[in-house]
């Protein structure tokens, strides 16, 4: 079983984009609390590895992440990737709860317990995956298109 951490790709959709259009990284976590992250590409690459080496992985659970960053660090990285200032703004869990109790529970878990993934060990043990940091991921996004007013109206 592979168990991926929070998806980097979620930062290029939904309310994340809504906030980024205004220069805000609105996220329901404190600025200093680390979060483990992974892009879909790394999940796919690791899943392919598991299928190629089934005996090695049979009966195991592998927690996956390719980076660990705080929301404050994510805002700094997004500032560079977007080429304009982005500040972190903590969204209250109560606000998230009005949209989704499950989503609020997930962020409460991320904030209190967090995900304990050995990012360094994964990178060391499985370099063939070609792990991406949040910076690697962020600089490859087509931010002008993602943040365009036309896309916001969809």
Looking at the domain 2-139, which fold is it? Rossmann fold (3.40.50)
Report the C-alpha gap between 110 and 102 in whole angstroms.
12
**Confidence band for 14, pLDDT divided at 50, 70 and 90:** confident
pLDDT, tens digit, 9 for 90 and up, residues 27-38:
899 999 999 999
Pick from 100, 85, 106: nearest CA to 29: 106
pLDDT at 153 over 70: no
Q: Kindly report the number of other CB atoms within 10 A of residue 138's CB atom.
A: 21
102 CB-side CA count, 13 A: 0
Q: 149 falls in which pLDDT band (50, 70, 90)?
A: confident
With 80 as the cut, is the pLDDT of residue 95 above it?
A: yes
Question: Domain residues of the chain, as ranges?
Answer: 2-139
> For residue 40, which of 73, 16, 5 has the smallest C-alpha distance?
5
Contact 131, 5 (CB under 8 A): no
Has residue 142 got a pLDDT over 80? yes
**Tokens 């809504």, residue located:** 18
Question: Which tens digits make up the pLDDT trace of 52-74?
Answer: 999 999 999 999 999 999 999 99
């Amino acid at each position: 079983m592979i168990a991926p951490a929070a998806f980097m790709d979620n930062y290029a959709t939904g309310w994340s984009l809504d906030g980024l259009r205004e220069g805000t990284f609105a996220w329901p976590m404190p600025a200093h609390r680390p979060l483990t992250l992974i892009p879909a590409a790394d999940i796919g690459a690791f899943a392919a590895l598991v299928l190629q080496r089934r005996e090695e992985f049979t009966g195991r659970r592998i927690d996956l992440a390719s980076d660990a960053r705080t929301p404050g660090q994510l805002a700094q990285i997004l500032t560079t990737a977007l080429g304009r200032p982005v500040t972190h703004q903590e969204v209250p869990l109560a606000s998230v709860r009005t949209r989704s109790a499950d989503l609020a529970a997930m962020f409460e878990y991320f904030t209190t317990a967090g995900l304990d993934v050995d990012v360094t060990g994964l990178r060391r043990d499985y370099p063939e995956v070609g792990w991406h940091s949040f910076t690697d991921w962020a600089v490859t996004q087509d931010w002008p298109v993602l943040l365009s007013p036309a896309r916001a109206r969809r």
